[in-house]
Amino acid sequence: MTTSDIKPAATILLLRDEPSFEVLMVKRHHQIDFASGALVFPGGKSHAGDHDLAWADHALGWSEFDAEQRGLRIAAIREVFEEAGVLLGRHGDGRSIGGECATLETRQKVDAGELPFLNVVRELGVSIDLKALTIFARWITPPLTPKRFDTWFYVASAPDDQVAACDGRETVDAEWIAPREVLRLAEAGERKVIFPTRMNVRLLAEAQSADDCVARAQARKLVTVEPQIQDRPGGKVLVLPPDAGYGEVEEPLANVM
């Protein structure tokens, strides 16, 4: 497998502070080939439409990012729209987007590639907000996996006037959950949480609020995480870069397969 086989992807840690500090997570459909049944953040692969230059007229903060970041941020915003029905953006007069921004049928058509996300945003008369996203982490899937992704994790505060709802296809549940509760459920074996998600939830759990999380992410040096396989007396482990913010991590390979 060459580096060209590593697909760019984007995901969002959508946060809220009321009734308590929580992150939006979705449960992957059991028939999905990647992370089936797992509790994950909304996200997915970048598509060609995410790089359409026509977005320049419909994306706040367009001039502040390079072409790569524009496409990744649009992908992240599209994915949370498809999977959870939340649209990060504003009306032309600066008002936030309230209520149900689009029907489930519309979201499913965008997900299926039958309707460009750009067309939906145009029809709504709104602009997506690229500036609402702050880079949280970047992970590249290790070579041992059949599918490899270069995934950018972003953190954003959720609109307080939109309701998250799963799409019923890729995701079968959407829930707001405290980061520490995610870790407890994973530790107890009550929920499936894949290794990269668990590590980023652990990092998220160090924050006390959405603003605190954003501030920590902005202050943290971005170190690309590409887990390395190393041999130990007890077997093979995945090792993370020590300066990536996760501390010393040596995860038994059996736990992540």
CATH number of the domain that residue 158 is part of:
3.90.79.10
Residues 1 and 157 sit within 8 Å (Cβ to Cβ): no
pLDDT of the residue at 162: 80
pLDDT of the residue at 17: 95
Query: Does some domain include residue 83?
Result: yes
Q: Provide the number of structural domains found in the chain.
A: 1
Residue whose pair of structure tokens reads 């130990």 in the numeric block: 232
**Residue 55 is part of which domain span?**
3-224
Query: Does some domain include residue 182?
Result: yes
Q: Would you call 215 helix, strand, or coil by DSSP? A: helix
- Inform me whether the pLDDT recorded for 237 exceeds 60: yes
Alpha carbon distance 73, 76 (integer Å): 5
Token readout for 226 is: 């590409």
pTM for the model: 0.90
- Inform me whether the pLDDT recorded for 3 exceeds 60: no
pLDDT of the residue at 170: 52
Residues 40 and 29 sit within 8 Å (Cβ to Cβ): no
pLDDT of the residue at 168: 53
Q: What is the mean pLDDT of the chain?
A: 89
What digits encode the pLDDT tens for the residues 122-138?
A: 999 999 999 999 999 99
- Cα angle vertex 27, ends 228, 254, to 5°? 30
Query: Does some domain include residue 248?
Result: no
pLDDT of the residue at 61: 97
Query: How much helix, strand and coil, in percent to the nearest 5, is found in the chain?
Result: 35, 25, 40
Q: Do you know the residue count of the chain?
A: 257
Closest CA to 34 of 161, 179, 187, 192: 192
What digits encode the pLDDT tens for the residues 31-50?
A: 444 445 688 999 999 999 99
Mean pLDDT of 176-182: 95
Confidence of residue 100 (pLDDT cuts 50, 70, 90): confident
Return the half-sphere exposure (C-beta side, CA atoms, 13 A cut-off) of residue 190. 7
Confidence of residue 257 (pLDDT cuts 50, 70, 90): low
pLDDT of the residue at 169: 53
Query: Does some domain include residue 145?
Result: yes
Strand order in the sheet with 59-60: 59-60, 126-129, 89-91
pLDDT of the residue at 160: 83
Query: Does some domain include residue 241?
Result: no
- Inform me whether the pLDDT recorded for 82 exceeds 50: yes
Which stretches of 96-184 are assigned E, i.e. beta strand?
A: 126-129, 134-140, 149-157, 171-177
Query: Does some domain include residue 7?
Result: yes
Mean pLDDT of 175-189: 93
| Range picked from 59-73, 97-111, 223-237 for highest mean pLDDT | 59-73
Query: Does some domain include residue 234?
Result: no
Query: Does some domain include residue 74?
Result: yes
pLDDT of the residue at 1: 45
